[in-house]
Structure 1
């Protein structure tokens, strides 16, 4: 089985968008795509964080979102997460240390999140076994 492993660590809209875009491309090539969200990016998997965090505070963010829409993609990160999960190939994990630091409890996860896991588990069970590994 060909797999892709991705770690997303940043919380800025455009940086998360890049990781999610590569995950989407990965669904066309790989049998499975596993994503670990660490540091601030763990908020991507929380019900509140996906709505409130993850935006640059400058005017260029709106321009980026306009161009994302022109490219035919949803501008809302959660809509992208749902679409990726809907492929049946993408699995989302939150890093347990990041979840503890940034106060993301298992009960706070969006339905598309698979689990909160240790980074070592992700590295040995997903990244080390992957055909390709990417980090954003």
Structure 2
């Protein structure tokens, strides 16, 4: 019994945890105003960079890539699939003819006319 926390500690701990939950829910439900988009200044276009031509360097022509012919694949003959032997269709055994059972009849429930008055007992005043 000495190792168990006191009732005051349990009550205090539960109240603190409830107040933390309420504060957290308030933070989730709070709406923030929309911030305006910042206006960025326009940047001037960058100048085009031209590389200088050196007089002593010859210009090499672009190499041409030869086109490769499309390889032709030989046509393979279709394999012959052997036919499966036909199996005879299974027949269900015939069941003997059962006589039809007569339908059960239920007795009719008598209807009580609504005009009748309930019976009064002779002992009532």
TM-score (norm 2): 0.16
User: Which protein is bigger by CA-based radius of gyration?
Assistant: 2
TM-score by length of 1: 0.15
Structure with bigger strand share is 1
